[in-house]
Homo-oligomer: A and B are copies of this chain.
């Protein structure tokens, strides 16, 4: 279970359909992390496209050239939307990377009463950082398909106007302590899981979520960190 199990290639890396050239920061990364040598095969994948291998054909201080055989589809996404109340910036990166690595098709980061307002202005909430964390998750997991990411700065419009559509014909579950409801034995996909902020959802939020079609789910007596809770929940769908 290593850190980078696939090198994600971007359209701009391709100099031909079967040929990529990495330079600059990306070259440095591949040299340092993979210690790639000429003739070696690296596991690569094209963003939102197929995966396969890239044979190192040339490498010098300026660039690394890969001959590509992209003959495998990426793993299917889980039919899973994670609705996550903004985590504290310190854990945001791990939460987003873990969500992507678990295969969630969609990640919604949503406001909640107990989310500190300052979290929204953290540099980590910048779209380019969140995208980078998802890329790290994909490279960890050996996947190429970015989850759809949505930032919902207003709780109510999201829950009232968008959430019912996400739940249509699927199952929505919101982690809420002491609700007494165990994990359902069978789940109808797609599944939407909502995970609250530190301190939990307030009652008004729980009511809104339930009105939108979410069912309460009791995670038991233990209070888990956001990233642990989401992995524990997604694990039910992943295998």
Contacts and interface: CB of A to CB of B under 8 A. Distances in A.
Interface in A196-239: 196-200, 217-229, 231-236, 238-239
Interface stretch (A14-22, A59-67, A97-105): A97-105
A221 to B, nearest CB: 4
A140 interface: yes
Interface residues of A, number: 42
A2 B223 contact: yes
Given A98-B225, A141-B224, A1 B195 contact: yes
A227 B232 CA distance: 10
Contact of A222 (B141, B182, B200, B224): B141
A222 B238 contact: yes
A140 B1 contact: no
Contacts of A220: 75, 103, 238-239
Contacts of A53: none
Contacts of A225: 1, 98, 101, 140
Contacts of A229: 1, 231
A183 interface: yes
Contact of A221 (B75, B195, B198, B227): B75
A214 to B, nearest CB: 16
5 contacts: A1-B196, A217-B239, A231-B232, A232-B232, A232-B235
